[in-house]
Amino acid sequence: MAHIHKLPPEIAQHIAAGEVVERPASVVKELIENALDAGATIVDVHIRDGGLSLIQVADNGTGIPAEDVPLVFERFATSKVETLEDLQRIRTFGFRGEALAAIAAVAEVELVTRTPDALQGVRAHIRPGEALQVEPAAAPVGTRVTVRHLFATVPARRKFLKSPLRETELVHQTLLRYALGFPDVAFRLTVNRRSVLNLPASSPLQRIGQVLGRDVADHLVAIHWEAGDLQVHGWISTPDISRPNRQAQYFFVNRRPVRSGLLAVILERPYTGRIPAGRKPIAIVNITLDPRFVDVNVHPRKAEVRFAQERSVYWALGQAVDAALSPFPVRYEEEGVPALIPFVPGEADGSQIAEYPAQYGTHSPRALAQLHNTYILAQDEQGLLLVDQHAAHEQVLFEQILAQADAPRPLGAPVVVHLTPREAEALAELLPSLQEIGVQLEPFGAHAFLVRALPSVVVQARGDHLSAEDVRSLLDALLSEAHTYSHLAPDALRERLAAKLACASAVKAGDILSPEEQQALLDALWRTWSPATCPHGRPSFITLTLEEVERRFQRR
């Protein structure tokens, strides 16, 4: 076991060290990495008040020798680097020797540790500005670090933090990221003395199911590409499931979680024409290469890396994804998305919501044509109208959902949707409000829900036979801003949820509407209480009056 030592200045000056403590999640990240470097197979995290009151990370790794404990709170004290050449072949997460020193500068820290060959452990305790205290202590093999009162001595730093709920969510996301990278390690998270995550060691695919949901794991294909010491492997989603953003894309380089917009772009290129425009694939991608060809010291928080042979890495990823997707045909045109959710005229067209508002005329305008499959051109007694088909349909559905013009419509068959633990927790808190707008669902095992019915107008807009992915996309929309719901009054929350559901169900820009569908949408819009705007306040139509048209043509 290598001992901790202070790095000489000629080595320390080559390290891109920086402030590693920005928020509770960054503390958790550093402590998890220390645990993994110590060979831990169990990582147990406890936080309170979003991590500001308490952060505790315990592991069953190799521990720290008693004689090295006083050095762990010194800057540039590490057991992982001896020479400049060592910086070129880093395989561990930590190597700068600054994590605990930086944490101890802004919080009270207690460290309890014992190595397998030691008869007793060691306890070290330090407060900002005070001397380190070290004493013998009873302890299991491994290390437990407890951080209390984070930023208590630097209140200015606290002003830049989010709410405890949001900080908790960031800690939760940090754990999930490392859990996906290390499926052979068990991870546990306890928040305010309540267990919210318990992931036993498992296979890579089982871990994906634990983190992202079994419905996701069932729609993944393996990727693999290898040449020399460069290897790309992992899992990507089949084209029948996707997400509205990149939050379900995870990249690892030599098992280190990294951010890379370019890797995401390379990943997504083979999906062109296979998934609708604007949707993003799900991916867990592992890139393994010789440490000499990847610089993990380029970013102060080690969140980004630099490849010595970038083209080789990007080409390998593209080849791996392209090969895995070859069985799936191209279904969508690049320049636009086909009409996946057409507006369907019928009995739920809003005819019973209200009479035509007098200020907009006594009759709905007459549809003339569709402009770029996005706007409906129409005419009325005032002149020419340009109607945003998405905003218009959104407002129609929004008012129908709130008015409960129809009873909730049962799905052809109840749909089981698997969520992440945090998503399941957020959805459970919304159940009463969702029931009020016609969304009938109930818990169905761990982190899963059984969706039985949706508002009739939503089922009509999306189709009677919604797949699990269709229902999942609706729940994604409802949960997309769940962290902002806590301060809303019940009525405001109900309206926010109705607006989210309407937006997800409405026709989109690029959807082709027949002349009959265009007219039906205008008729329904003119029967709403507030046809001029969508639920988000954007205009649903603009009018070019006949007088203005004549003036443009110099007839007046």
Residues 257, 187 share a domain: no
Residues 241, 187 share a domain: no
Kindly report the CATH number assigned to the domain that includes residue 216.
Answer: 3.30.230.10
Q: Give pLDDT tens digits for 141-172.
A: 999 999 999 988 888 788 788 888 889 989 99
Mean pLDDT of 103-116: 92
CA-to-CA separations, 107 to 20, 70, 104, 144, in angstroms, rounded:
13, 17, 5, 16
Which ranges constitute the DSSP H helices of 95-182? 99-104, 155-158, 164-181
pLDDT value of position 9 = 45
Residue 237 resides in a domain: yes
DSSP string, 503-544: HHHS--TT----HHHHHHHHHHHHTSS-TTB-TTS-BSEEEE
Q: Give pLDDT tens digits for 432-450.
A: 888 888 888 988 877 889 9
Residue 532 resides in a domain: yes
Give residue 218's identity as a one-letter amino acid code.
D
Residue 249 in this model has a pLDDT that exceeds 80 = yes
Contact 265, 321 (CB under 8 A): no
Kindly report the CATH number assigned to the domain that includes residue 196.
Answer: 3.30.565.10
> In which band, very low, low, confident or very high, does the pLDDT at 79 lie, cut at 50, 70 and 90?
very low
pLDDT value of position 463 = 67
**What b/e string do you get for 184-216 counting C-beta neighbours within 10 Å, with b at 16 or more?**
ebbbbbbbeeeebbebeebebeebbbbbbbbbb
Residue 344 resides in a domain: no
Mean pLDDT of 524-549: 85
Kindly report the CATH number assigned to the domain that includes residue 520.
Answer: 3.30.1370.100
pLDDT value of position 273 = 86
- Hey, which of 115-129, 265-279, 406-420 has the most confident mean pLDDT? 115-129
Residue 174 resides in a domain: yes
Instruction: State the Cα–Cα distance between residues 101 and 27, nearest whole angstrom.
Output: 11
Lowest average pLDDT, out of 256-260, 301-305, 412-416, 526-530, goes to 301-305
pLDDT value of position 28 = 95
Q: Give pLDDT tens digits for 196-221.
A: 999 999 999 999 999 988 888 888 99
pLDDT value of position 2 = 58
pLDDT value of position 20 = 65
Instruction: State the Cα–Cα distance between residues 373 and 193, nearest whole angstrom.
Output: 53
Residue 345 resides in a domain: no
Lowest average pLDDT, out of 337-351, 383-397, 402-416, goes to 337-351
Residue 346 resides in a domain: no
Residues 365, 450 share a domain: yes
Share of the chain above pLDDT 90, in %: 37
What's this model's pTM, rounded to 2 decimal places? 0.63
Residues 147, 184 share a domain: yes
- Choose one of 325, 341, 371: the last residue of a domain: 325
Q: Structurally, how many domains does the chain consist of?
A: 3
Domain of 435, in residue numbers: 358-544
Residue 350 in this model has a pLDDT that exceeds 60 = no
- DSSP secondary-structure letter at 5? E
